[in-house]
């Protein structure tokens, strides 16, 4: 009440005998620091400010008086209590009353300053606006405490990233604003692979340190493109506004995976983890937080199931992956009990004389109902349970038993997972298998990856020493794809390096360093007295190049795919110790065989057809008769994926099309369009509801589906799977 009275007096004094007293009281009020007085003119310029206020800001009246109020103060967006998103100039322009408005001083001071402004507009009797008259007080200390309290409530204390509460609130507000503006927003869900193992073997303080480093690396990758949150444990989330380019998102996810998979220094020890990423995009994969988050979660589970260290975009066919994982685990137990698992063997061939020197054992699972299940799908599920130890022991035992039926100079290689290698009973298992099968230890080669170096390095070195004492050979698989392989070679007793297929795939392409890397690895292995096997050679251009670089051993389709033991024995029985290379002259990425029902749009008519195979630049499509070469079409792959293409071949009911824009990887071996057409645009254009991703669309959006205006030009025929 005292302040209001003073303001009233300042706004219009009576000019009587009490004028001197009024001025004295006002001076005392300002000098005592109870509050300050300010005034602006009709143009919003500051025309009066209490001297004590000027002292507080460290500035004199000459610098501030006459300046626009909006250039001196701004509304602080970090204020947790500020509900309005209106800037200060808007609030002043409305000429409404101001009540305890928190503003931040924009000038240079020794430390940030926050004030609470109150005021009311002064209007003359004729309605002329004269400016504002108001009071102010410094609330810096109280506001900083409020900010800190708010930060503790909204940020993770360990990493400094946003917590689940803040991320939920940000995602809700972003989606609400973007829905009306028809803008896109991507959501990434991240999960750390093998973090639990680090936490268990190195301790919780080490795990906390690792999480802090993960947060720092995520900040370095994401920068100001989005907000990062830690939801708890080893789960992270990234909100990326205004990004719907799946090519850009895939590159970003790939960079995140690479950065988080680089070795960490934790309490003087080396730790290696990985990351999997699931991606969903609004409005295509959800319009509200719950459905967008669920879509990203399903994509994340699919990425983890696909082999970890991968990213995956959400697609409508993804189901409840957790339920599928449990079903697969149960099926795997049954498969082991009923001996449904097999080992197939791919030969390792000496290039100088094409003689087979060994075989790599590769696991195969032919499910009685689901058919062939690739190892990249069931091995990660096994690694998440104790099943991997049973599976690994079975593989070593079966491989050694089978190898005893081969010539004595032919070795067998078996892959060993990091979890299996870290098991305390692993050396005992190998010892028992050697004793029971009677195989020469030098014929057994254990293939390991860099992930075996996670955790206690001293224990790892003891396991290495024990295995070498048994006489078995050790190979470092996927060499060159990690980050610190050279340091491992210095300390670990490897007998062989294996050049990863990813280098071979691109070794004949221009502007690639793969050929130089292959040459360097071969030279390094020779200098260290190690063998080296080049994997994944499929064509003669690759074969000639790696041989020229000095490859002595090759494993790839140019010699043979992996085959069952029965076929291997037949070949050995017929004297097949040698195998000649055979394959295409040049390597070309294989076109994927698919059976996918799609829509084909020509002018204003839509046809139903079947996509039979697919690559990045084109596809073979069945179901349309009479389509001339050169015809322009649009393929509707569903979920907003529209592909502009041109017919390059046409015969009977089959056409071959070339895409105008190449497809991109979906992160899990599939292909997708870089962009999608918004469901809003699809609905407005009258696309059939089957073309729209799942979602709730206003009825007004679905009114454009008029019947075609022209007669169809092509004949549509039914295509069945055969």
Q: What is the pLDDT of residue 82?
A: 63
**pLDDT computed for residue 694 by the predictor:** 47
SS (H, E, C) 620-635: EEECEECCCCCCEEEE
Residues found in the chain:
722
The bridge status of strand 642-651 relative to strand 654-659 is antiparallel
> Taking 80 as the threshold, does the pLDDT of residue 306 lie above it?
no
Sort strands 715-716 and 624-625 into parallel, antiparallel or unpaired. antiparallel
Instruction: Name the band, by pLDDT with cuts 50, 70 and 90, for residue 456.
Output: low
Per mean pLDDT, which of 476-490, 551-565, 682-696 is the most reliable?
Answer: 551-565
pLDDT of residue 481: 66
Those residues with Cβ within 8 angstroms of residue 152's Cβ, 6 or more apart along the chain or in another chain: none
Query: What would the DSSP string read from start to end of 407-469?
Result: -TT-EEEEE--HHHHHSTTHHHHHHHHHHHH---GGGEEEEE-GGGGSS-HHHHHHHHHHHHH
Q: Which domains are delineated in the chain?
A: 2-146 (3.30.450.20), 155-318 (3.30.70.270), 342-573 (3.20.20.450), 592-716 (2.40.10)
Distances (CA, A) of 609 to 620, 655, 659: 11, 11, 17
Percent of the chain exceeding pLDDT 70 equals 85
Could you tell me if 236 and 228 are in contact, meaning their C-beta atoms sit under 8 angstroms apart? yes
CA distance 5 to 13: 11
Q: How confident is the model at residue 492 (pLDDT cuts 50, 70, 90)?
A: confident
Mean pLDDT of the 293-300 span? 92
The C-alpha atoms of residue 187 and residue 275 are separated, in whole angstroms, by 16
In which band, very low, low, confident or very high, does the pLDDT at 606 lie, cut at 50, 70 and 90? confident
Mean pLDDT is highest, among 98-107, 292-301, 426-435, 499-508, for: 426-435
511 confidence band (pLDDT: 50, 70, 90) = low
Q: Which residues, at least 6 apart from 78, have a Cβ–Cβ distance to it below 8 Å? A: 147, 150
Give me the mean pLDDT over the 636-655 stretch.
89
What distance in Å separates the CA atoms of residue 116 and residue 140, rounded to the nearest whole number? Answer: 9
Task: Read off the tokens for 128.
Answer: 């002329």
Tell me, what DSSP letter sits at residue 247? H
CA distance 645 to 634: 6
Most confident residue range from 190-194, 266-270, 441-445, 704-708 = 441-445
Per-residue pLDDT band at 455 (split at 50, 70, 90): low
d(CA 21, CA 408): 114
- For residue 18, what pLDDT band results from cuts at 50, 70 and 90? low
686 pLDDT band, cuts 50/70/90, is low
- Model confidence pLDDT, tens digit, residues 214-265: 999 999 999 999 999 999 899 999 999 999 999 999 999 999 998 998 888 8
Torsion from C-alpha of 580, 581, 585, 591, nearest 10 degrees = 130
Q: What is the pTM of this model?
A: 0.60
* HSE toward the beta carbon, residue 282, CA cutoff 13 A: 30
What element of type H or E holds 379?
Answer: helix 375-383
Place of tokens 């009114």: 703
Using DSSP, state whether 11 is helix, strand or coil: helix
**Residue whose C-alpha is closest to residue 691's, from 651, 650, 636, 654:** 636
- Residue 617 sits at the vertex; the CA angle it makes with 611 and 618, to the nearest 5 degrees, is 30
Reported confidence tier of residue 393, pLDDT bands at 50, 70, 90: very high
Q: Where is average pLDDT lowest: 59-63, 436-440, 655-659?
A: 59-63
More confident residue, 514 or 356: 356
List own/partner pairs for 421-425 with CB under 8 A and 24 or more apart. 421/448, 421/452, 421/460, 421/463, 422/197, 422/201, 422/452, 422/454, 422/455, 422/459, 422/460, 423/389, 425/389
pLDDT over 50 at 124, yes or no: yes
Looking at every residue in the chain, the average pLDDT score rounds to 84
Summarize the confidence of residues 447-463 as an average pLDDT: 79
């Amino acid at each position: 009440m005292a302040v209001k009275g003073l303001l009233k007096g300042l706004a219009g004094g009576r000019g009587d005998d009490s004028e001197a007293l009024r001025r004295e009281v006002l001076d005392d009020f300002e000098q005592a620091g109870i509050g300050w007085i300010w005034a602006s003119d009709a143009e919003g310029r500051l025309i009066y400010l209490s001297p004590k206020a000027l002292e507080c800001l460290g500035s004199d009246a000459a610098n501030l008086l006459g300046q626009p109020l909006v250039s001196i103060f701004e509304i602080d967006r970090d204020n947790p209590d500020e509900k309005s998103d209106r800037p200060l100039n808007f609030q002043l322009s409305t000429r409404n009353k101001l009540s305890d408005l928190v503003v931040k001083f924009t000038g240079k001071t020794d430390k940030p300053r926050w004030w609470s402004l109150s005021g009311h507009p002064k209007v003359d009797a004729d309605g002329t606006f004269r400016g504002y008259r108001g009071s102010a007080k410094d609330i810096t200390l109280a506001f900083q405490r409020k900010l800190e309290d708010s930060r503790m409530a909204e940020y993770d204390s360990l990493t400094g990233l946003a917590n689940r509460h803040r991320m939920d609130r940000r995602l809700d507000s972003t989606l609400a604003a973007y829905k009306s503006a028809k803008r896109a927003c991507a959501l990434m869900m991240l999960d750390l692979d093998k973090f639990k193992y680090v936490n268990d073997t190195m301790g919780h303080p080490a795990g906390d340190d690792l999480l802090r480093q993960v947060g720092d690396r995520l900040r370095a990758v994401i920068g100001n493109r989005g907000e990062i949150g830690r939801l708890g444990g080893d789960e992270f989330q990234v909100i990326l506004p205004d990004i719907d380019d799946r090519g850009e998102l895939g590159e970003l996810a790939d960079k995140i995976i690479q950065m988080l998979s680089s070795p960490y220094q934790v309490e003087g020890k080396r730790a290696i983890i990985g990351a999997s990423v699931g991606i969903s995009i609004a409005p295509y994969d959800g319009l509200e937080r719950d459905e967008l988050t669920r879509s990203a979660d399903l994509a994340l589970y699919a990425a983890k199931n696909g082999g970890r260290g991968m990213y995956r975009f959400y697609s409508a066919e993804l189901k409840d992956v957790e339920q599928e994982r449990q079903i697969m685990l149960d099926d795997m137990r049954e498969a082991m009990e009923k001996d449904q698992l097999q080992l197939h063997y791919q030969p390792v061939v000496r290039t100088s004389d094409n003689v087979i020197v060994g075989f790599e054992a590769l696991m195969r699972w032919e499910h009685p109902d689901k058919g062939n299940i690739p190892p990249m799908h069931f091995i990660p599920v096994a690694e998440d349970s104790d099943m991997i130890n049973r599976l690994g022991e079975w593989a070593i035992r079966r491989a050694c038993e089978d190898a005893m039926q081969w010539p004595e100079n032919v070795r067998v290689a078996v892959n060993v997972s990091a979890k299996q290698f870290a098991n305390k009973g692993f050396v005992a298992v190998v010892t028992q298998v050697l004793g029971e099968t009677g195989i020469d230890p030098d014929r057994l080669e254990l293939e390991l990856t860099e992930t075996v170096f996670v955790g206690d390095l001293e224990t790892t070195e003891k396991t290495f020493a024990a295995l070498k004492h048994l006489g078995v050979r050790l190979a470092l698989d996927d060499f060159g794809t990690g980050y610190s392989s050279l340091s491992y070679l210095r300390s670990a007793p490897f007998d062989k390096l294996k050049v990863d297929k990813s280098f071979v795939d691109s070794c004949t392409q221009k502007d690639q360093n793969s050929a130089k890397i292959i040459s360097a690895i071969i030279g390094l292995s020779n200098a260290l007295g190690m063998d080296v096997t080049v994997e994944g050679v499929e064509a003669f251009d690759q074969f000639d190049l790696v041989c020229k670089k000095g490859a002595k051993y090759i494993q790839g389709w140019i010699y043979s795919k992996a085959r069952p033991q029965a076929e291997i024995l037949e070949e050995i029985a017929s004297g097949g110790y040698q195998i000649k290379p055979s394959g295409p002259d040049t390597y070309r990425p294989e076109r994927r065989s698919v059976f996918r029902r799609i829509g084909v749009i020509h002018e204003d008519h839509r046809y139903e057809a079947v996509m039979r195979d697919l690559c990045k630049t084109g596809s073979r499509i069945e179901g349309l008769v009479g389509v001339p070469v050169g015809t322009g079409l649009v393929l509707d792959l569903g979920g907003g994926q529209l592909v502009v293409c041109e017919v390059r071949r046409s015969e009977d009911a089959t056409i071959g099309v070339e895409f105008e824009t190449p497809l991109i990887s979906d992160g899990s071996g599939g292909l997708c369009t870089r962009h999608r057409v918004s469901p809003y645009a699809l609905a407005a254009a009258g696309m059939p509801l089957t073309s729209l991703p799942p979602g709730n669309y206003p009825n007004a959006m679905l009114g454009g589906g008029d019947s075609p205006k022209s007669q169809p030009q092509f004949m549509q025929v039914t295509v069945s799977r055969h």
